[in-house]
């Protein structure tokens, strides 16, 4: 029976008791101040400011004891202690145990017919092991976004995100796709891997495919009998450990939308009281949660732990969280006696995986995605294909020219900002020109390109002056000016021979103004056709509708942007999910849909207030002027 007033029963706190409790404080002075200040705010001005309470006290425990005495004066110390405990700043059960000898009370209560005493309940070690609902709800929302159902060449399992692009599961889930002789992914095996997130009901979920070079790293399973009765191959000759994990790189960087678990920040166990959670897809069912207690380290290996949460086939690769909802294990197997009697389930400790392969979750810059421009002026709505194209062109010189086409105000010019932020800044230079500002003379254009590429004035001055006595303008451009420009650019881009730069030449507004047939046009045509120059040059022609005859079609890519009034719902959802993830928010799927409805409603309101802007522009404005500005007030 509860007394109806407090969930934490404490005696009056004196200086001795405050010191006993303070010895169990586990955080720093800043955390103490923040929690005390919040309790002070709730006390309607009764408590003194923390700076006054802790004046002259350098020791954190002494400052804590003083703060506890202050809260006890106005009987809000229960709130203070519970708040600290819920945040993990105070070992409350330990503090209560320390207080017990000094707080024993003799309470005489009427007995009922059973002869049992009926006493009000108080906070104790058992109650401290109950599950914090706020933490559980947040943890479930996070997992719902980050857990996935994996299908790999007919084998089903579970996995979860550990980086922007990386999912981890068990090696035995994808073992058929790895050549045991070489330890390399089998050719074409990426097509056999599908990871479905938010598989919460039978018809829900968003599927991601693996990239061609999907195998980040793995560790085999120690040889033992599989469920089929066959012996799994022992690959310890290829890997010095047998931790039964495999990291898979996915296309589209789903971690930017969903967040991920950092394997360098894992949890811990207390097998006497702590709960243990396993999130999984048993037998290909939608997401399931199993809860148990008593999980403990494997007595034979510190790399594993044992638990008795309910699992089944398909649970392999399930996410294990500790009592504070921190990632701690990768479920992988069941343990049986020689008589086939179940002993327990077993999980691989994530700390062991991180120690063996500390970079598993690192992003591959060539496959990453951005969600906000570096100056935070605009969110990136859609344009995933553009980002993939830019990253591929950074690596691949075979097709160095791209035509960007689309309706007026469809975001074509935004391509320049994407290139600026998608291409690593330490590996590129950008020259951005508008068709309306191109000079007439070839020499003037060459000088402009070098200047905007960051060349020194002395380098720009080395370009030769025109000498038309020895030939036509076109001949001089190709035989004299172009080689000089190419040489100057090569010197600029190869200042560090270990990491040569890529120069992006972006010419915008080609749908507004055509480039006339001048010396500058002759230089551009010659430059596009110069295979030697194009090894370190990428050309982006924005708004050019017709192909240029001087360019080999085999060297060209074409990107056609969507109509600006037809923004795909999934593009808006991905954008908003990524923005929320960046701010450490974890919306449930239904909540994300409500947020999307709000954005659409604001966009419709903006449309009703005036004409002249298409839907893409309106949505972009709402994200920039409402969402991104609101986020600034949170910090």
The per-residue pLDDT for range 358-384, each reduced to its tens digit, is: 989 998 888 888 899 988 889 999 899
Q: How far is CA 286 from CA 89, 101, 118, 151, 456, in A?
A: 35, 50, 45, 13, 61
Indicate if 102 and 153 belong to the same structural domain. no
What average pLDDT does the segment 389-415 reach? Answer: 91
3-state helix, strand, coil in the chain (%, to 5): 40, 20, 40
At residue 160 the predicted structure's pLDDT band, cuts being 50, 70 and 90, is: very high
Same domain, 149 and 278: yes
Q: Is the pLDDT of residue 466 over 60?
A: yes
In percent, the amount of the chain with pLDDT more than 70 equals: 88
Per-residue confidence (pLDDT) for residue 224, from 0 to 100: 45
Which has more pLDDT, 424 or 12? 424
Q: What is the dihedral of CA 382, 388, 393, 398, to 10 degrees?
A: -120
Nearest to 381 by CA among 616, 540, 206, 599: 616
Same domain, 118 and 184: no
Q: CA-CA distance, 434 to 438, in Å (whole number)?
A: 7
CATH number for 347: 2.40.10.120
CB 162 within 8 A of CB 324: no
Same domain, 124 and 141: no
In a domain, 515, yes or no: yes
Pairing between β-strand 206-219 and β-strand 193-197 as defined by DSSP bridges: antiparallel
pLDDT bin (cut points 50, 70, 90) of residue 227 is very low
- Higher pLDDT, residue 473 or 538: 538
Q: Is the pLDDT assigned to residue 10 strictly greater than 70?
A: no
Are 108 and 241 in a shared domain?
Answer: no
415 shares a domain with 330: no
Query: For residue 547, what is the domain's CATH number?
Result: 3.40.50.300
Q: Is residue 602 part of a domain?
A: yes
* Nearest partner of 72 among 46, 97, 49, judged by Cα: 46
Task: Report d(CA 599, CA 610) in Å as an integer.
Answer: 17
Q: In what order do the strands lie in the sheet with 288-293?
A: 288-293, 275-280, 319-321, 327-336, 342-349, 301-307, 296-298
Tallying the residues shown for the chain, one arrives at 635
Please give the helix or strand (H or E) that residue 332 lies within, else none.
strand 327-336
Residues 303 and 430 in one domain: no
Examine the domain organization and report whether 537 and 573 are in the same domain.
Answer: no
pLDDT at 74: 86
Does 4 have pLDDT greater than 70? Answer: no
Q: Please state the separation of Cα 43 from the chain's center in Å.
A: 39
Of the spans 43-57, 118-132, 576-590, which averages the highest pLDDT? Answer: 43-57
Residue 365 domain-assigned (yes or no): no
Instruction: With a cut of 60, say whether residue 336 has pLDDT above it.
Output: yes
The yes-or-no verdict on residue 483 having pLDDT over 50 is yes
Whether residues 111 and 144 share a domain: the answer is no
Query: What average pLDDT does the chain have?
Result: 85
Select from 517, 543, 560 the last residue of a domain: 560
Quick check: is 434 in a domain?
A: yes
Matching residue, tokens 């068990």: 170
> Do residues 542 and 397 both lie within one domain?
yes
Contact assessment for residue 432 and residue 450, using Cβ atoms and an 8 Å cutoff = no
* Mean pLDDT along residues 49-69: 90
- The answer to whether residue 2 sits within a structural domain is no
Is pLDDT of 559 > 90? yes
pLDDT tens per residue, range 62-120: 999 999 999 988 888 888 888 888 788 888 878 877 776 544 444 444 555 555 555 56
pLDDT band at 533 (very low <50, low <70, confident <90, very high): confident
| pLDDT exceeds 50 at position 230 | no
The answer on pLDDT for 165 being more than 70 is yes
For position 112, what pLDDT does the model report? 55
The answer to whether position 5 is within a domain reads: no
**Rounded to 5 degrees, what are φ and ψ at 239?**
-130, 140
For the cut 60, the answer to whether the pLDDT of residue 337 exceeds it is yes
Considering 128, 152, 186, which residue would you say is the last residue of a domain? 128
* 104 and 148 share one domain: no
Residue 217 lies in a domain: yes
The verdict on residue 373 lying in a domain is no
Nearest in space to 96 (alpha carbons), one of 123, 72, 76, 117:
123
Domain boundary among 532, 560, 588: 560
Higher pLDDT, 113 or 420: 420
Q: How far is CA 415 from CA 22, 116, 504, in A?
A: 57, 77, 12
> What's residue 105's pLDDT?
46
100-109, 169-178, 347-356, 437-446: segment of lowest average pLDDT: 100-109
Q: Are residues 144 and 292 in the same domain?
A: yes
**Using only C-alpha atoms, what is the Rg of the chain?**
32
Total count of domains within the chain? 4
Region 302-314: mean pLDDT is 92
List, in order, residues 6 or more apart from 632 with CB less than 8 Å away: none
Q: The domain containing residue 499 runs over which residues?
A: 382-560
Residue 70: per-residue pLDDT: 92
């Amino acid at each position: 029976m509860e007394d109806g007033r407090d969930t934490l029963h404490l005696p009056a706190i004196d200086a001795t008791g405050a010191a006993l409790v303070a010895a169990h404080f586990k955080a720093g002075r800043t955390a103490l101040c923040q929690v005390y200040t919040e309790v002070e705010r709730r006390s309607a001005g009764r408590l003194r400011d923390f700076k006054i309470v802790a004046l002259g006290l350098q020791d954190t425990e002494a400052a804590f004891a003083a703060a506890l005495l202050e809260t006890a004066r106005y009987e809000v110390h229960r709130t203070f202690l519970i708040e600290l405990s819920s945040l993990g700043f105070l070992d409350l059960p330990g503090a209560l145990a320390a207080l017990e000898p000094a707080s024993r009370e003799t309470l005489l209560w009427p007995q009922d017919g059973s002869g049992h005493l009926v006493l009000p309940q108080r906070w104790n070690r058992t109650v401290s092991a109950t599950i914090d609902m706020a933490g559980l709800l947040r943890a479930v929302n996070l997992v719902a976004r980050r857990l996935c159902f994996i299908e790999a060449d007919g084998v089903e399992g579970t996995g979860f995100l550990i980086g922007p692009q990386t999912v981890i599961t068990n090696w035995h889930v994808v073992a058929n796709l790895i050549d045991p002789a070489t330890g390399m992914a089998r050719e074409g095996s990426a097509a056999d891997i599908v990871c479905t997130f938010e598989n919460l009901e039978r018809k829900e979920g968003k599927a991601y495919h693996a990239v061609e070079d999907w195998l980040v790293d793995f560790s085999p399973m120690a040889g033992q009998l599989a469920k089929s009765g066959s012996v799994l191959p022992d690959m310890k000759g290829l890997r010095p450990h047998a931790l039964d994990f495999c990291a898979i790189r996915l296309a589209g960087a789903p971690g930017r939308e969903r967040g991920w678990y950092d394997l360098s920040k894992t949890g811990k166990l207390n097998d006497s009281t702590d709960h243990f959670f396993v999130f999984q897809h048993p037998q290909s069912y939608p997401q399931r949660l199993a809860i148990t207690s008593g999980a403990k380290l494997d007595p034979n290996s510190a790399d594993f732990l044992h638990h008795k949460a309910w699992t089944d086939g398909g649970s392999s690769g399930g996410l294990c969280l500790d009592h504070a909802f921190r990632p701690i294990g990768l479920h992988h197997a069941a343990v049986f006696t020689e008589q086939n009697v179940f002993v327990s389930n077993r999980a691989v400790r994530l700390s062991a995986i991180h120690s063996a392969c500390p970079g598993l979750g690192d992003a591959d810059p060539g496959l990453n995605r951005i969600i906000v421009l570096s100056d935070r002026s605009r969110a990136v709505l859609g344009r995933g294909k553009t980002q993939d194209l830019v990253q591929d062109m950074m690596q691949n010189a075979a097709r160095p020219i791209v035509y960007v086409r689309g309706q007026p105000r469809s975001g074509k010019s935004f391509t320049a900002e994407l290139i600026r932020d998608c291409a690593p800044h330490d590996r590129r230079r950008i020259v951005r020109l508008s068709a309306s500002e191109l000079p007439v003379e070839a020499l003037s254009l060459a000088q402009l390109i070098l200047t905007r590429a960051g060349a020194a004035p002395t380098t720009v001055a080395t370009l030769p002056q025109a000498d038309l006595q020895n030939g036509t303008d076109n001949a001089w451009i190709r035989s004299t000016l172009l080689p000089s420009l190419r040489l100057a650019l090569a010197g600029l881009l190869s200042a560090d021979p270990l990491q040569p730069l890529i120069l992006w030449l972006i010419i915008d507004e080609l749908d507004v103004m055509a480039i006339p047939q001048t010396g500058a046009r002759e230089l551009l045509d010659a430059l596009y056709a110069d295979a030697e120059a194009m090894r370190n040059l990428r050309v982006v022609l924005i708004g050019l509708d017709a192909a240029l005859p001087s360019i080999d079609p085999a060297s060209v890519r074409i990107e056609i942007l969507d109509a600006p009034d037809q923004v795909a719902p999934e593009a808006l959802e991905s954008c908003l999910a990524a923005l929320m993830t960046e701010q450490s928010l974890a919306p449930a799927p239904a909540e994300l849909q409500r947020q999307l409805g709000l954005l659409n409603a604001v966009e419709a309101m903006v449309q009703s207030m005036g004409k002249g802007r298409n839907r893409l522009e309106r949505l972009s404005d709402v994200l920039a002027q409402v969402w991104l500005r609101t986020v600034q007030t949170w910090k």
